[in-house]
Amino acid sequence: MATIQVIPLGGVGEIGKNCTAVRQGDDIVVVDCGLSFPSEEMPGVDIVIPDFTYLIENRDKVRGIFITHAHEDHVGALPYLLPKLSVPVFASKLALALIRPKLEEKIGLKGLDLREFSPGDELPAGAMTVEPVRVTHSIPETCCMAVKTEQGIVLFTADFKLDFTPVDGKLTNIQRLGELGREGVLALLSDCTNAEEPGWSPSEATVKEGLRRAFAAAPGRVLLTTFASNIHRMQQTIDVAHEMGRKMAVAGRRMEQTLETCSKLGYVRIPSGLMIQLRDSTQYPPNKLAILTTGTQGEPLSALVQMSKGEYSRLKIIPGDTVLYSARPIPGNEASIWRTVNRLFRAGANVVYQAPMPIHVSGHAHIEELKMMINLTRPYYVAPVHGEPRHQHRYLQMARQMGYPEHRAFLLTDGVPLAMDETKAWLDEPVPYGRVLVDNSGEPGLTDDVLRDRNNLANDGFVVVTVVVDADTGEVVGPAIVQHRGVHGDSSTMDKLPDAVADALNVFAPDDIRDVDSVRREVADSARRFLHKRMGVRPVVIPIVVEV
C-alpha cells in the first residue's frame, strides 16, 4: 500500500492561511486555501498567502480543493491558486455563494470548476474519496473533511466547536464522526486555536441573553460590531432587535453583501419591515434603532473606525449611543481596537465589551471538546493544526494525558510532510513552503529585501545625494543636490551636507573622479558619516552620480 503524506502548506504553527495537501501515490487532495493578515512587521502588505510551489509543480496530480467553510483564512487564497491550477473546487452551497463573487471580481469565473457538495457526499479524488461531515462553527455549513485513503481516514476537523444548541438548529453529525472512528481514522488533524481554554465553549445561543440585556440597557441607539462572516451572530442581533422593537440598518459594505447573500439563500431570516436604509435612520427615535457594523479589529477603512473619527458621512456618533463590541481582538490588533474604543467614548458613546452576560463567545472548541473529538474518532495519530506553537503544545500535553505516546502525536510545521505507512509515521523531507506577501499592487511575492528596505525607511527615512561630474575634465560640477524624506533633524545642519560631500570628493584626482563607482561609494560614505556624526541619524542613503 502507498505511503500517505499529509503536507501542511499553511496554517500549522500559525493562525491563518490554512492549506493542507494529502498525497497518496499520484493523487493529491487539497483541504482549504486560505489567507492570513500581515503583522505590523509587514508594512504595505495587504494579505499573506501560502507558497503554492508544491501544488503547482504537482498540478497534474491535484484532484481537487475541498473547502471546509467560507472564512477568509480557509478560502481567501483561492484567487491566487486557481489561475495556476485547473482543478475542481468542492464547497457547500453557502460557501460557494460567498466565494463566487470574490473570484468573479478578482479573476473572473471563466474556466473555473466550482462544485457544490452536501454533508455525507462521497466526493471523488483519484484513488481517494472525500466525505464532508457537518460540524458547528461560527458560520453555517462548516464541514470536517474525511479523506479516505488506503491506510485509513485522514480526518480534518476544520474550525469547530460542539454547540448543542446552534442558532440554525443544525447539529454536528456526531454519530457519523463516531462511525468514521469505527471505520478507522488513521490521523486526526485537529483545530487547536482554543486549546488553552478550559472546559467547554459556551453555545452561541448564550449570547442572545447577553444581547437582550445590553439592548435593554441602551438609552439610545445600539451599534453592534461583529465579524462580517459571523452569520449566527448577525442572526441573533437581528432577532433581538426585532424583539425589542428596534429597526435595523447595516453600515459596512461587506456586511451588507454577506447579509444579502445569506438572506436570499435562507441562511439568515430577516423579519419583514425590520431592515431600513442607513440614510433613513434619522427618521426614527434613537431608542428604536440598532445598527450592525464592521470594524471589530480597528481596521482603518471600516465603518466603525471612520465613525469613531467622525469621518463616516452616513452616520455620526451621538451622546447616548451604545456600541456593543461582539467579537474578540485578534492578537496584534489590540492597540488600534483600543484607540477606536477610546475615540467612541470621547464622541459620547458608551462602549460595552465586558458585560455580566457574554455578548461574544468563540467559535472554536475548548479543551474538553477537543478531547471529545479524539474520543469520538479514536485516531491512531493526532496532530494539532490551526494554532500557534503555544496552542499545539497545549493540545499535545492533553493528548499525552489521554494516552497518546510520542510516536503517535505530532507537532507539525508548515512544509514538513507527516508520512504514514502500515507500521509507523514520521516527518518527511520538506517541500517548498512559506509566506507569500501580496501588497496593493495585487502581484504576490513581495520579497524580504523589499520588506527590510521598507522597515529601514520607516525607522530612519532616506537621503538622496546627487553629484554631477564632468567625464572629460574629471571635475565635480556644482554642489551636490540633497533630497530627503522621513529624516528628523536640524535643517540648517542638513544644509551643510553638500559641503561635506564636496570636501570628501576634493581629495579625488581627476582620474579618480572618472571612476564613477568609487565616486558613488565616497558620496554615500561621506554623507552617512556626516548624518550620523552631526545629526545622530542613520537614514538610507542613495548616492546618484550623473556623468556629463
How do strand 142-149 and strand 128-135 relate by DSSP bridges?
antiparallel
Question: Cα separations (Å) of 375 from 142, 181, 202, 241, 511?
Answer: 21, 9, 20, 40, 81
* In the complex, least distance from residue 340 CB atom to a copy of itself, rounded to whole angstroms: 11
* Nearest-angstrom CA–CA distance, 94 and 326: 23
Quote the cell numbers at residue 157: 476537523
Instruction: Tell me whether residue 124 or residue 332 sits nearer to a copy of itself (CB atom).
Output: 332
Among residues 416, 373, 388, the alpha carbon closest in space to that of 158 is found at: 373
Among residues 456, 476, 451, the alpha carbon closest in space to that of 465 is found at: 476
* Nearest-angstrom CA–CA distance, 519 and 469: 9
Four-CA torsion 427, 428, 429, 431, nearest 10 degrees:
-90
Cα 497 versus chain centre, distance = 45
Instruction: Tell me whether residue 56 or residue 335 sits nearer to a copy of itself (CB atom).
Output: 335
Instruction: Tell me whether residue 164 or residue 338 sits nearer to a copy of itself (CB atom).
Output: 338
* In the complex, least distance from residue 25 CB atom to a copy of itself, rounded to whole angstroms: 33
Active site residue 191: yes
* Nearest-angstrom CA–CA distance, 459 and 40: 13
* In the complex, least distance from residue 332 CB atom to a copy of itself, rounded to whole angstroms: 3
* Nearest-angstrom CA–CA distance, 328 and 334: 10
* In the complex, least distance from residue 410 CB atom to a copy of itself, rounded to whole angstroms: 14
* In the complex, least distance from residue 38 CB atom to a copy of itself, rounded to whole angstroms: 11
Assess contact for 101 and 94: CB atoms under 8 A: no
Q: How does DSSP classify residue 431?
A: P
Please give the angle made by the CA atoms of 208, 213 and 216, to the nearest 5 degrees: 120
* In the complex, least distance from residue 103 CB atom to a copy of itself, rounded to whole angstroms: 19
Instruction: Tell me whether residue 269 or residue 485 sits nearer to a copy of itself (CB atom).
Output: 485
* Nearest-angstrom CA–CA distance, 412 and 274: 48
* In the complex, least distance from residue 454 CB atom to a copy of itself, rounded to whole angstroms: 4
Quote the cell numbers at residue 349: 458613546
Instruction: Tell me whether residue 244 or residue 482 sits nearer to a copy of itself (CB atom).
Output: 482
Assess contact for 11 and 386: CB atoms under 8 A: yes
Question: Cα separations (Å) of 511 from 7, 472, 474?
Answer: 60, 10, 6
Q: One of 69, 74, 232, 364 is an active-site residue; which one? A: 364
Instruction: Tell me whether residue 161 or residue 343 sits nearer to a copy of itself (CB atom).
Output: 343
* Nearest-angstrom CA–CA distance, 61 and 217: 58
Q: What are the helix and strand counts (H, E) for the chain? A: 17, 25
Q: What burial class does residue 485 get, using C-beta atoms within 10 Å of its C-beta: 0-12 exposed, 13-18 middle, 19+ buried?
A: exposed
Q: One of 73, 163, 191, 239 is an active-site residue; which one? A: 191
* Nearest-angstrom CA–CA distance, 219 and 408: 57
Active site residue 517: no
Sheet strands side by side (includes 435-439): 45-50, 435-439, 444-446
* In the complex, least distance from residue 145 CB atom to a copy of itself, rounded to whole angstroms: 27
Q: Which residues lie near a copy of itself (CB under 8 A)?
A: 13, 39-40, 43-44, 196, 329, 331-332, 334-335, 338-339, 341-343, 345-346, 350-351, 354, 388-390, 392-393, 437, 439-443, 445-447, 450, 453-455, 457-462, 464, 466, 468, 477, 481, 483, 485-490, 535-538, 540, 542, 544, 546, 548
Reduce the DSSP state of residue 542 to 3 states and report it.
Answer: strand
* In the complex, least distance from residue 416 CB atom to a copy of itself, rounded to whole angstroms: 13
Instruction: Tell me whether residue 39 or residue 175 sits nearer to a copy of itself (CB atom).
Output: 39
* Nearest-angstrom CA–CA distance, 126 and 243: 51
Assess contact for 55 and 21: CB atoms under 8 A: yes
List active site positions: 191, 364
